[in-house]
Amino acid sequence: MFDIDANINRAATLPGRFYNDPEQFETCREAVFARSWQMIVGAEDIVRVPHDAMPFQFMDNFIEEPLLLLRDAHQTLRCMSNVCTHRGKILVEHPGKLERGIICGYHGRRFHQDGTFAAMPETQGMENFPCADDNLVQLPVHQWRQFAFTSLDPAFPFAEWVADMERKIGFLPVEQFRFQPARSRDYLVRANWALYCDNYLEGFHIPFVHKDLAATLDWGAYRTEISRWSNVQVGVAKGGEEVFDLPKGHEDEGQAIAGYFFWLYPNIMFNFYPWGLSLNIVRPLQPNLTKVSFRAYVWKEDKLRIGAGADLDLVEREDEAVVEQVQIGTRSRFYKHGRFSPRQEQGVHHFHRLLAASLSGK
């Protein structure tokens, strides 16, 4: 489908038509996102103690698979289909307690908290009943720090997906970071989801697009580090800015790090600053429309307005403006594809390689 050369010095980017083609957009739905790990937004606040449960869609307005997250009586976090195996009714409609198990409000079919069939009225005479098909389908669910994730059909192990982020920022007490709704919001971007990721994955544009941000970073020391299913951009402070207090023995010990910007394939960004975490979740809506959810988790309030993470709303609006212009440009009959800057666009090249492999079924 698309072949991105492994050698960045020879490679060309995805063609412009990729960002505008409805067929490619639909292919990404199953080949990329249905096989990805996605965050269960809000789980850290709603599903905290035994019997707590929360219904959710795998990806709102994109892959609307009804799922249920619950914490059973033994504190085990479980994720399963939220569709009754009798006649297909949605089982749980609102967050709450499920101390009696899962009960369908249509015909009374009941399931244990692990999703296995428990009972149903009026089943006399039914043959081969109950069978495996009467149980709720179980999905893998993993927790990283305070966040929960699931996948419909994972293409790669969860532990491998988060390993390099954990190694790099494992010294931070992420569990203590607290969600602040007032500092969080959704943005609608009139551009393809992958184009938004392209922009995020390189610091090349920072001096040209983000003047205030560029004033806080040492451009010559800015770098991208590539892992199998993720990468991180390391922002080094120019001087006099807030930086991380790195522990002894850390791989970046002695460096004035202002920010770690992690991208986890295909659409989740964890941006760590000395004040805490800005989490970006990119959700495709249409070939040329994307919703980006910014969620702020604050650790040290006194550092909020200092350094590289001081004005994220301005940075986002600047990114939106340029990405929307690029979306228009990719529709040009005269634009075919671009080339990668070997030093500045390693993250974009990495993304395009992963995306091309997913689309070809590799």
Domain boundaries, the chain: 38-150, 162-359
Q: Phi first, then psi: give them for residue 254, nearest 5 degrees.
A: 90, -10
> Across-strand partners of 233?
224, 261
One pLDDT digit (tens) per residue for the chain, 362 residues? 689 999 999 999 999 999 999 999 999 999 999 999 999 999 999 999 999 999 999 999 999 999 999 999 999 999 999 999 999 999 999 999 999 999 999 999 999 999 999 999 999 999 999 999 999 999 999 999 999 999 999 999 999 999 999 999 999 999 999 999 999 999 999 999 999 999 999 987 787 777 777 678 888 889 999 999 999 999 999 876 789 999 999 999 999 999 999 999 999 999 999 999 999 999 999 999 999 999 999 999 888 766 555 567 788 888 899 999 999 999 999 999 999 999 999 999 999 999 999 999 87
Q: Rounded to an integer, what distance in angstroms lies between the CA atom of residue 221 and that of residue 213? A: 14
pLDDT at position 34 is 98
- What is the token pair recorded at 81? 């289909």
Angle at 291 between CA 330 and CA 336, to 5 degrees: 10
Residue 36 pLDDT: 98
Residue of 304, 278, 298, 39 whose CA lies nearest to 176:
298
* Measured torsion, CA atoms of residues 322, 327, 332, 337, in degrees rounded to the nearest 10: 90
pLDDT for 179: 95
Q: Which two tokens stand for residue 198?
A: 């392209």
What is the structure's pLDDT at 307? 57
Q: Say what angle helices 346-359 and 193-200 make with each other, to 10 degrees.
A: 150
> Cα–Cα distance between 120 and 130 in angstroms, integer?
10
Check residue 241 and report its DSSP letter: S
Helix (H) or strand (E) holding 321: helix 312-330
3-class DSSP assignment, residue 54: strand
Tokens linked to 226: 């590539």
End-to-end CA distance of the chain: give it in Å, rounded. 11
pLDDT of residue 304: 74
Q: Is 3.20.20.10 the CATH classification of the domain at 162-359? A: no
147-150 and 38-39 beta bridge pairing = antiparallel
Q: Checking DSSP bridges between strand 96-97 and strand 276-286, what pairing results, if any?
A: unpaired
Query: E-assigned strands of 60-195?
Result: 63-71, 77-81, 96-97, 102-103, 110-111, 117-119, 138-139, 141-144, 147-150, 178-179, 185-189
Domain 38-150, classified CATH 2.60.200.30, yes or no: no
Contact (CB, 8 A) for 346 and 352: no
